[in-house]
Amino acid sequence: MGTDVIILAAGEGTRMLSDLPKPLHGLMGKSLIEHVLTATTSLADDPPVMVVGYGAEEIKEYLGDQF
């Protein structure tokens, strides 16, 4: 039995002075949420659970079936 992974990805990113949800901001060629998902995929047998708030539809559309 693997470890369950829950990712909190509900920030607006207002201090980043952008209309993008915080998880979609880029860092080193990937979005913040991609970095977190890549780092956690090997930690659990099941896919991670992601808690989204602001920009949920935009985040789901961005990730598509990738994760």
State pLDDT tens for residues 9-54. 988 888 888 889 999 999 999 999 999 999 998 888 888 888 998 9
Helix ranges (DSSP H) in 1-67: 32-40, 56-63
What's the DSSP call for residue 19?
S
**Residue 15 a catalytic site member:** yes
Indicate which residue of 2, 3, 15, 27 is catalytic: 15
pTM for this predicted structure: 0.81
Amino acid at 26: G
**9 neighbors 52 (Cβ within 8 angstroms):** yes
Check whether 66 has a pLDDT greater than 80.
Answer: no
What is the structure's pLDDT at 35? 95
Burial of 6 (0-12, 13-18, 19+ CB in 10 A): exposed
Element (H, E) at 27: strand 26-27
SS3 9: strand
Q: What's the structural domain count of the chain?
A: 1
Residue 51 inside a domain? The answer is yes
Query: Could you tell me the residue range of the domain that residue 13 belongs to?
Result: 6-63
Residue 1 inside a domain? The answer is no
